[in-house]
Structure 1
Amino acid sequence: MRIVLALIVLLAVSVAQAQEIQVVTEDTAYTYLEKGRVVGPATQHVRAALARSGFSDVRVDLYPWARAYAMALSQPNVLIYLIARTPEREDRFKWAGELMRIQYHLYKLAAREDIVVDSLDAARPYRVGVMRSDVRQHYLQRNGFAQLVESSGNEENFQKLLAGRVDLVPLPRGDVARLCARFEVDCRSVTPVLTLDALTVDLYMAFSLATDDAVVERLRLGYAALKAEGRLVAID
């Protein structure tokens, strides 16, 4: 009887905790809306980890990055992904698991022969489109870029490049392919000019600081178990 009661209590706690968790992300090649539901390779990993950890009824919401980031900074029980783990962010979140590694490149319109970039210094005079509160914005600011044009998301940023409102945008290859398809643009019309090697980062799922450590540890253990069992396909 005691064992049965303990299991009932554990189940109740699990359900309550699952209901309390808010999961937030942004629109990328790895996290996107399909028929009103957030899907994508990274989302698949997160949903699997949550289910493996006993959080089976958690809703995933897609927001502009700045809003998702602000929620994870200020509210309890928020799980955010894909978030770059940087030294500046290390003590602002409780890190629950690495999802993938990503590399960014500066892109220009192929027709813009007037834009010549072979180094970070050479890129500095140009107008660069960035997402508000994103790791790319912070990196470029630290490196003296004064002409940063903020957008709320990848789509708006890419549209500014297509319209000539910015000269360069930092994007991973996966996002470029997805955005070209979404806006019915030949991907040969945009070209990478510089790889931002120093901005190669690991992307994680992380909880807000006000989240209970027990919740964080449950997700860590669940995700680690999935990886150890070989049940997750690597995200490219």
Structure 2
Amino acid sequence: MKTAPLLLLLAWLFSPASQALQLYTEEYPPISFSQHGQAEGLAVDLVRELLKRLDQQASLQVVPWARAYRIAQTTANTAIFPTMRNSEREPQFKWVGPILLANDNFYALKGSGIKVGKREELARFKDIAVPRDWFTYQELTAAGMHNLLGVTEPVQMFRLLRMGRVPLIVADNLSFYARDEAAVQVDYLGPDDVEVVYPYRSSYGYITFWSGTEDWVVRRWQTALDQMKVDGSFSRIYQRWLPGAEEPGLREPGWSGIP
């Protein structure tokens, strides 16, 4: 039965686990963004280092978030990053991380005079801009906040704030680290241009794999990421992009995520 080993080999070669990994990320500087036709950013550098350590080849594309999210939900051998975890998303993917720690806040332009003492007071604002594909929009909508202005891309939100078209946006603190060409994605707003009027919460970002990905693949990626955190290479990459920013630990508090 010499054909049996050959059939097994062919079956493996054409199985989903053997096919090349397709990685997707979005325009989210300085975490991930396109520059001169190439993907750049903190998360991109982390993923490239992981691929190197795993001796794995993969394609990497920067695409609109809604498209990336749809692909990773339905297509074998795909992953997206960074994905912020919530209860709705958790069963839809397999998770490796965390690779990111962000503080989400309600921001106004500096000097706006806007004061918010408690969450209920946010209801008095007509439009609060946030991308409709972000989990923050989904979460706040589910919580009954009806004055959100859902935009298609993050840059629209930042532009609306700069132009005074909306009084508030919901964003994370990391966005304002963007510099040089990447800053166009936040309409060139920096930390000195905005102020926190109401702190929302902390979020953890992950690499999320198609739900049919083999558990051993996810564990292999998680182990390599853990090793980067232990040997200091994770911190060096993180601080190069986000100097002084708080880093995520080995695990998000209260959640392991390892299959």
**What TM-score comes out, normalization by structure 2 length?**
0.75
Report the CA distance between 1:224 and its aligned residue: 2.5
Per the alignment, residue 210 of structure 2 pairs with 208
Per the alignment, residue 226 of structure 2 pairs with 224
Per the alignment, residue 195 of structure 2 pairs with 191
Q: Secondary structure at the match of 2:124?
A: coil
Per the alignment, residue 93 of structure 1 pairs with 93
**Greater mean deviation of Cα atoms: 220-229 or 31-40:** 220-229
Separation of aligned partners in 2, 1:177 and 1:96: 24
**Structure 2 CA distance for partners of 1:121 and 1:232, relative to 1, 3 Å:** same
One-letter code aligned to 1:39: E
**Structure 2 CA distance for partners of 1:123 and 1:179, relative to 1, 3 Å:** farther
Q: Secondary structure at the match of 2:235?
A: coil
**Structure 2 CA distance for partners of 1:111 and 1:22, relative to 1, 3 Å:** same
Q: Does 1:142 align with 2:146?
A: no
One-letter code aligned to 2:108: K
| Aligned with 1:233 (options 227, 235, 249) | 235
Per the alignment, residue 83 of structure 1 pairs with 83
Per the alignment, residue 27 of structure 2 pairs with 27
C-alpha offsets along residues 58-107 of structure 1, whole Å, 9 cap, x if unaligned? 22211222222122212111111111122222211111221021111111
Separation of aligned partners in 2, 1:227 and 1:35: 30
Q: Does 1:103 align with 2:127?
A: no
Per the alignment, residue 120 of structure 2 pairs with 121
Report the CA distance between 1:229 and its aligned residue: 2.8
Taking only aligned residues, the RMSD between alpha carbons, in angstroms, comes to: 2.6
One-letter code aligned to 2:231: E
One-letter code aligned to 1:227: K
**Structure 2 CA distance for partners of 1:160 and 1:97, relative to 1, 3 Å:** same
One-letter code aligned to 2:207: M
**What TM-score comes out, normalization by structure 1 length?**
0.82
Indicate if the aligned counterparts of 2:26 and 2:63 stay in contact, CA closer than 8 A: yes
**Greater mean deviation of Cα atoms: 37-46 or 218-227:** 218-227
Per the alignment, residue 52 of structure 2 pairs with 51
Report the CA distance between 1:47 and its aligned residue: 1.1
**Structure 2 CA distance for partners of 1:208 and 1:179, relative to 1, 3 Å:** same
Indicate if the aligned counterparts of 1:125 and 1:145 stay in contact, CA closer than 8 A: no
Indicate if the aligned counterparts of 1:21 and 1:58 stay in contact, CA closer than 8 A: yes
Q: Secondary structure at the match of 1:225?
A: helix
Which structure 2 residue ranges, 5 or more long, are not aligned? 1-8, 239-244, 246-259
What is the total number of aligned residue pairs between the two structures?
220
One-letter code aligned to 1:230: G
Identity of aligned residues (%): 25
Separation of aligned partners in 2, 1:221 and 1:186: 35
**Structure 2 CA distance for partners of 1:145 and 1:137, relative to 1, 3 Å:** same
**Greater mean deviation of Cα atoms: 212-221 or 79-88:** 212-221
**Structure 2 CA distance for partners of 1:177 and 1:220, relative to 1, 3 Å:** closer
